[in-house]
Structure 1
Amino acid sequence: MLDRAQIERVVPHAGAMCLLDEVSSWDATHIACSSAAPTAAHPLARDGSVPAIAACEYAAQAAAVHGALLDGAQAPRPGMLAKLMDIEMHACAFESGGAPVTVRADLESRVATGCLYRFEVRGDQPIASGRFMVAFTEGAPG
């Protein structure tokens, strides 16, 4: 569906901080993305491993891509991860050299000022799940 270069155009991060490699599916209410298993060189790695809380950033980037797809945008929409809720850590860290990372984010609500998503991030096993709110810092795209 979308490759890394296309994703980099619509997320607010570039280079190594763009954590997603591919969008495998999406529709009006969900997006599924994947990424290579993180290594010790990952930008969010600490002491050679990526902590499970980084799954929230993977999910937030998936939501940014989803929003861009919904809006037909060619650039990131200014916003911020405003709130994490009901976060469950199913692991302490991503497995280095494990399975590719998969991210699923389901849109629960969306208004002019923000949106709410439920997510799950997995490797070989579930890594983290929960919900988050994004607050837009500018109005809807024109």
Structure 2
Amino acid sequence: MPTPPSHLQQADIARRIPHQGLMCLLDAVTAWDDSHIVCRAGSHRVPDNPLRAQGRLGAACGVEFAAQAMAVHGALLAEREAQAGSAAPRVGYLASVRSVNLHVQRLDTIAADLTVTAERLLGDANHILYHFRLEAGPHLLLEGRVAIVLDAAMLRQAIGSAQVPGESL
């Protein structure tokens, strides 16, 4: 298996995340390393963006752009680990979003491409904490932190038959 590429286009991203078609919001990965990923997106301008409500794309939807960047980052790290003979890739679930600061109300009115940056602050075998930023040119649009839980099935075993947070009934 070859080393994961340093740059990816949308088709490469779609192969690595669960979202397809219009719901794959990122256009490219422009850089990544062990603790960072930088992506580019223009889908916030698309009139049929699936996150739009009443023709508008609220700034809070930027969290989904960031979550997709984190998912790609996790997939790239897992690919590299698999090449080294480590464990298979694990499914991650967004567990919480904190300290979100919205500096704009809408994303669909932003003419420039979005730069989506995620930084892995810490993590262990079951949890990861990321800080994210969405920018357009020199302008910060939103930022916050996201906690990811890996392999929620393991969480279910730990808490018994109770519902796993974020899981549908």
Structure 2 length as normaliser, TM-score? 0.75
CA distance in 1, matches of 2:36, 2:121: 9
| Alignment of 1:71 onto 2:46 | no
Partner secondary structure for residue 103 of structure 1: strand
CA distance in 2, matches of 1:97, 1:30: 24
Matching residue's letter, 1:61: Q
| Alignment of 1:35 onto 2:41 | yes
**Counterpart in the other structure of 1:86:** 99
Asked if structure 1 preserves the Cα contact closer than 8 Å seen for 2:97 and 2:147, the reply is yes
Asked if structure 2 preserves the Cα contact closer than 8 Å seen for 1:39 and 1:49, the reply is no
Question: Which among 26, 30, 39 is matched to residue 24 of structure 1?
Answer: 30
Which of 1 and 2 has greater Rg?
2
**Counterpart in the other structure of 1:119:** 132
Change (3 A) 1:136 1:18: same
Matching residue's letter, 1:47: Q
Asked if structure 2 preserves the Cα contact closer than 8 Å seen for 1:12 and 1:76, the reply is no
Q: Which has the higher strand share?
A: 1
Asked if structure 1 preserves the Cα contact closer than 8 Å seen for 2:60 and 2:102, the reply is yes
Asked if structure 2 preserves the Cα contact closer than 8 Å seen for 1:39 and 1:48, the reply is no
> Structure 2: which 5+ residue stretches go unaligned?
1-6, 83-87, 155-169
Cα RMSD after superposing both structures: 2.0
Question: Which among 56, 60, 68 is matched to residue 61 of structure 1?
Answer: 68
> Structure 1: which 5+ residue stretches go unaligned?
none
**Counterpart in the other structure of 1:133:** 147
- Which is bigger in relative contact order (C-alpha 8 A, separation at least 6)? 1
Of all paired residues, the percent bearing the same amino acid is: 37
- Give the aligned length: 139
Asked if structure 2 preserves the Cα contact closer than 8 Å seen for 1:39 and 1:97, the reply is no
| Shift, 1:78, TM fit | 1.9
Asked if structure 1 preserves the Cα contact closer than 8 Å seen for 2:122 and 2:129, the reply is yes
| Shift, 1:79, TM fit | 2.1
Asked if structure 2 preserves the Cα contact closer than 8 Å seen for 1:114 and 1:133, the reply is yes
CA distance in 2, matches of 1:118, 1:97: 22
**Counterpart in the other structure of 2:114:** 101
| Alignment of 1:48 onto 2:55 | yes
Q: Alpha-carbon deviations, 1:20-59, whole Å to 9, x = none?
A: 0100001111000001142321110112121111111111
Q: Which has the higher helix share?
A: 2
Structure 1 length as normaliser, TM-score? 0.89
